[in-house]
Amino acid sequence: MVQSSVPLCNTCGEQVGLNANGEVFVACHECNFPICKDCFEHEINEDHRVCMRCGTPHEERTKEEEEDFHEIKVHENEDDDFHEIKVHENQSTTPFQINNSQVMVYEELLVAQDVGLHARHVSTVSTVDSVESWKEKDKKNKKKKAAPKEEKDASIPPEQQMEETRPTEAAAAAPLSVVIPMSKSKIAPYRTVIIMRLIILGLFFHYRVTNPVESAFPLWLTSIICEIWFAFSWVLDQFPKWSPINRQTFIDNLSARFEREGEPNELAAVDFFVSTVDPLKEPPLITANTVLSILAVDYPVDKVSCYVSDDGAAMLTFESLVETADFARKWVPFCKKFSIEPRAPEFYFSQKIDYLKDKVQPSFVKEPRAMRDYEEYKVRVNAMVAKAQKTPEEGWTMQDGTPWPGNNSRDHPGMIQVFLGHTGARDIEGNELPRLVYVSREKRPGYQHHKKAGAENALVRVSAVLTNAPFILNLDCDHYVNNSKAVREAMCFLMDPEVGRDVCYVQFPQRFDGIDRSDRYANRNTVFFDVNMKGLDGIQGPVYVGTGCVFNRQALYGYSPPSMPSLPRSSCCCFPSKKSTNDVSDFQRNAKREELEAAIFNLKELDNYDEHERSMLISQMSFEKTFGLSTVFIESTLMENGGVPEAADPSMLIKEAIHVISCGYEEKTLWGKEIGWIYGSVTEDILSGFKMQCRGWKSIYCMPLRPAFKGSAPINLSDRLHQVLRWALGSIEIFLSRHCPLWYGFSGGRLKWLQRMAYINTIVYPFTSLPLVAYCSLPAICLLTGKFIIPTLSNVASVLFLGLFLSIIITSVLELRWSGVSIEDLWRNEQFWVIGGVSAHLFAVFQGLLKMLAGVDTNFTVTAKAAEDSLMGRQNRTPTIVVLWSVLLASVFSLVWVKINPFVNTVDSETIAETCIAIDC
């Protein structure tokens, strides 16, 4: 319920009241500090002539300023859940102003901004306070105030004079982000149509079930079953989008709060993960561009570490990183000197920038040599790629003549190489560079390595030992940093003490380069990223999509959110694991963690124990059964703010890092079961995010104006269908596992119902391929047999059909209206949904059932990241497309058959029209 427009006094708690003009009384026009007239007069009588919040002298107000400030009008809507603030058009833009100087802020946000005894009350003046704290005054007003200010300062006691740093202090206290709910004018009609469509669906099914077609009963029954499944799928997809929201971040406030001049930089450190497998399908130059964009991000260099996981143990990847580290010494200072975007050289130079026109700095004209340096770097890398096309019979050898340890990609030791770092090579200007680490985990026959999920977990352990940043950002090798301030965008949420406390990750949307204008394969997934994810952000948060995501390391370790008690046991109600119940219970219980903190969490206290005592203490707490046999790693997991001991020996840390990536390290631990990336599906991203949110964590969707990351999309239909097949297969694996959202995670009650519906939709959508193939085949069967599934329509039935089609169209139109998605993107999404549904999804269902029932494992196919003639020539040669062509040819043949067969004269023309519409759909 919206509070009264008259705020409460911060001193006495009474209403501020109105002035002689009937307007809300305002004591300080600088910050609109809520104080009633009586308390204000008392402060004046006590000779307190400055504002208690911002320190502005009360006498400093002029008549012109009074009129200027009263241009702000706060309008309150009694029926809405938000306030609408209109700001005078002459006022400078504030962080809260969006679209014609209007902003809508939820009451919960205003509560966090109010101060004093009655902070629980929501006031419109407190909102104006937030706006005014960001206002920059016009030069004209500054000149007018300059002379009287000097006179007033002389009359103010020295102890009450404020320093001229109020804007900085105000920015430091200002919010780091705000939630912008959808306008009522957009979301209310959308919800209304959804409810109407649900009612029409109920009436439609009542008509269909009560009017069977006896002459074609099997076909009629099949159509009814298919239609019920489609309606169920629509409900699962639609209702999680009930409360979509937008978010806005203020990175300037982040800097003002954590990067104060003359003080140590307090921004949190971030470990970047880049994973690659096959350098022939994932060219080293693409991976190198991703690494270079990371090393050049707009973030303190001592807070950035980049870990590259080479799961194929390829010497080509290693040598390309050697060249990349050397080129980074030139590229990083170039990016930061001229603030260029993007900071991946391949994509920056492809913009064809005119150095004379597009840049103001004269010195930039001399910088085309950066392009020349990059071209020379490309020649060296491409030469290595050409050389690697043919592997020598004796295998690869390193420069010192020793064999490359990874010649056998399935049987090799763990390898770690630190290329750059705080004590390593500096750039050409003598400045530090972020740390760059090459990692290839150990692989031996007879061990299950869990593909990408296992590689990511190995990076979690290595980074914890070497740098232990509290946050982790993972990227695919083909997703480069397109916005150098992307990390700061995420920190606006994760470092906010109010917002970020229960946030497990911040997910960015995926954007792509090199897609044709028509997006024939629906690679952009615009409907998912701009519609579905915004809806999930209004519930419990978006799902994790595998890349472009910043994690809270503590959430990856399986801990519950700080604001919630830990779950007492594994939250699977149908498939409890008796073997691990005690370990999981001990691990997740906050009381157990508090006991550990007394002796282990404080590293200073750990110095009082010798190595044997520490090992015994950790062993007693069952942490070895959870995290594995590494005291160094276990100690790092208990450091919520990250970091490594200053006295740690680097050589010892490297040795320990090699130990934690050994292939047997995860044996008899909870890795992949309760902590880290979860095993059991090729879509480990969905499963890992689901487990975190079942523990009560929330996630956030961040969509900066400049896309944070960009990647490469599949280059042909074959690769696109293989990609869709892999996603669908992963969903089937989750559906057939104990982590299925239909029964997992109920005991804690921490997963919201709409969020659960969204996760159910992500794992059951491949099964839609079965009714979709059947429904697409029905029109052809009906035309060929002369038996139809719909009787002659009555007037009421016609109205129901018409209402159903109109509700579908109106829902789509309103969805496009609040999301900003184009109608072409919607059409491409629906088109490829049908293509994938009758091809890749269908194969995934049968492949998943074979794996579950017969134990037939599936092969993971890496999607090619570069165009090749051989690939373009075979783009349609894939078995997954057989069913699609079969349905299409059957439909065409049935239409031809109707034209030449005499029975068509006896068939109701309305029925034929309906059948043709079904074929077209």
Asked if 817 contacts 186 with a C-beta cutoff of 8 angstroms, the reply is yes
Is 311 one of the annotated active-site residues of the chain?
A: yes
Query: Strand 435-440 relative to strand 503-507: parallel, antiparallel, unpaired?
Result: unpaired
Task: Report the alpha-carbon distance of residue 119 to residue 31 in Å, rounded.
Answer: 16
Task: Report the alpha-carbon distance of residue 315 to residue 383 in Å, rounded.
Answer: 14
Task: Report the alpha-carbon distance of residue 588 to residue 733 in Å, rounded.
Answer: 26
Task: Report the alpha-carbon distance of residue 713 to residue 720 in Å, rounded.
Answer: 8
Task: Report the alpha-carbon distance of residue 687 to residue 523 in Å, rounded.
Answer: 22
Task: Report the alpha-carbon distance of residue 450 to residue 431 in Å, rounded.
Answer: 39
Task: Report the alpha-carbon distance of residue 144 to residue 17 in Å, rounded.
Answer: 30
The dihedral through the CA atoms of 734, 738, 739, 740 has a sign that is: positive
311 annotated as a binding-site residue: yes
Return the biggest CA–CA distance within the chain. 106
Identify residue 505 by its one-letter amino acid code. Answer: Y
The CA dihedral of 697, 701, 707, 712, to the nearest 10 degrees, is: 60
177 annotated as a binding-site residue: no
Q: Which two tokens stand for residue 764?
A: 């059951």
Annotated catalytic residue, options 114, 129, 685, 719: 685
Which residues are paired to 710 by β-bridges? Answer: 480, 511
DSSP structural state of residue 298? S
* Helices and strands: H and E segment counts in the chain: 36, 16
Q: Could you write out the three-class secondary structure of 492-505? A: HHHCCCCCHHHEEE
Asked if 683 contacts 734 with a C-beta cutoff of 8 angstroms, the reply is yes
Q: What are phi and psi of 743, to 5 degrees?
A: -135, -10
Spatial CA neighbour of 292 closest among 473, 484, 439, 429? 484
Task: Report the alpha-carbon distance of residue 237 to residue 532 in Å, rounded.
Answer: 8
282 annotated as a binding-site residue: yes
275 annotated as a binding-site residue: yes
Annotated catalytic residue, options 311, 530, 537, 719: 311
281 annotated as a binding-site residue: yes
Spatial CA neighbour of 43 closest among 62, 64, 59? 59
Residue that the structure tokens 């890496």 belong to: 862
592 annotated as a binding-site residue: no
Q: What are phi and psi of 73, to 5 degrees?
A: -120, 130
Asked if 374 contacts 345 with a C-beta cutoff of 8 angstroms, the reply is yes
Alpha helices (runs of H) in 211-314, residue ranges in sequence order? 217-238, 251-258, 284-295
Q: How far is CA 483 from the centre of its chain?
A: 15
Task: Report the alpha-carbon distance of residue 215 to residue 212 in Å, rounded.
Answer: 9
Identify residue 34 by its one-letter amino acid code. Answer: P
Which residues are paired to 443 by β-bridges? Answer: 412
Annotated binding site: 275, 281-282, 311, 451-452, 476
Annotated binding site for UDP-alpha-D-glucose: 275, 281-282, 311, 451
Known catalytic residues? 311, 685
Annotated binding site for Mn(2+): 452, 476
